[in-house]
Structure 1
Amino acid sequence: MITYLIIDDEYIAHDIIKGYCGLLPNMQLMKNCYDALEAVDYLNNNTVDLIFLDLNMPKLKGFEFLKTLTLPPKVIVTTAYREFALEGYELNISDYLLKPFGFERFLKAINKTVSVTTKTTKSSVDKKDAVSKSIFLRSNTKYIQVTMDIIQYIEAAGNYTKVTTTKETIAIREKISDILELLNDIDFIQVHKSFAVSKKHIKSIEGNRIFISETIIPIGKTYKVNIIQLLK
């Protein structure tokens, strides 16, 4: 479960973010805060995985609030002010959403930002959390949360990309290049113009073929250098 906090002085902003999060699985709203001081009070006794943070608020501005946090969670800024983007990234925010933003841009920010943690109590903040990264994939009209560890390979298939996991194959209407942007290139490697594989799921490599479970993946000529780097 991904717990989150909305900090914004506009009621409609809360409704939009909460509505978008409601389209995704495992997103749990912990509190609506309408100024940063209210959020400070909540975070003194509670923890969350993610904050949606507005910048132009009364009493305490968004970045001023962020600087008061010693162990901030992931932060996605939601604002109408483009000019503060650089300062935001200097404060290590995860993404910067300019209002008004649509669901597709919102989903990209979530995929870029969110990790699913096993953290359940405040005391666990002092420990190294076990983290399993996940992404949201759109299949037809629903959004499926997939743990990256179980993805074996992805395959371009016409206007779709097939994401094959240890449990199922999910067809999504995205380019393979867009999916690769979501995946960690430390864990995944492109081996063909139509295929990228998870390094951890490679069973063996023989000639121009990669074996993953019972599937044979071809190695393209222009991608052999990636395999050479992998085998060093």
Structure 2
Amino acid sequence: MTDQDDKTGPTRRTVLKTGVAAGFLFVTGLPLREGQTPVASAAADAAVGGTAAPVDSVPTVLRINSREFSVALDPRTTLLDALRDHLDLTGSKKGCDHGQCGACTVLVNGRRINACLTLAIMHEGDEITTIEGLAKGDDLHPMQAAFVARDGFQCGYCTPGQICSAVGMLGEVDAGWSSHVSADVSSKAVALTDDEIRERMSGNICRCAAYPNIVAAIRDASEEV
């Protein structure tokens, strides 16, 4: 059957074509030209400088691990992608890329954040610390040394984020921040129990389930940091 076979009403093909055109217009704001598929229409608009116009790079200076890096970035670049793809600091891992696994955790001005959820250009002037910046030469940070001593990793993919998160977490404890499991939220003296560690590290997922050793490593390091 063609669109002309039934003069009394719309055919299924007409309804489908109308629906596709309406959907394409709703999503892109561009009319679907006669005889074109959505892909062909988008490609044609891009070819004449329509919807696919390039975004100008922005000169950006980032202070990372006590060094300054100058880089030109698409303003939509996340801090994680800037670290990994532009600065070759690949210690921070891309796990879920949705802020759910913690593999990309870094420290910004001493606070732990998910690098996949923030734009790099937002952090000009901030002090950014990645896993590469924790050690002092050949001397491991106490948290790194504790993870090694306690075998707090298996595949190791989540480990950089776990360690950075743990360092930031100890800073929160020192500042007297309570957690969901704190017995006395009004007290500035936080007892770093295993329950406290587990709760405060719950944003960092270990798919190998090395959690008991991670908790032990953090407990050991808390006594040295």
Larger radius of gyration, structure 1 or 2?
A: 2
TM range (shorter): under 0.3
TM-score w.r.t. structure 2 length? Answer: 0.25
Structure with more relative contact order (C-alpha pairs < 8 Å, separation 6 or more): 2
**Structure with greater helix percent:** 2
**Structure with greater strand percent:** 1
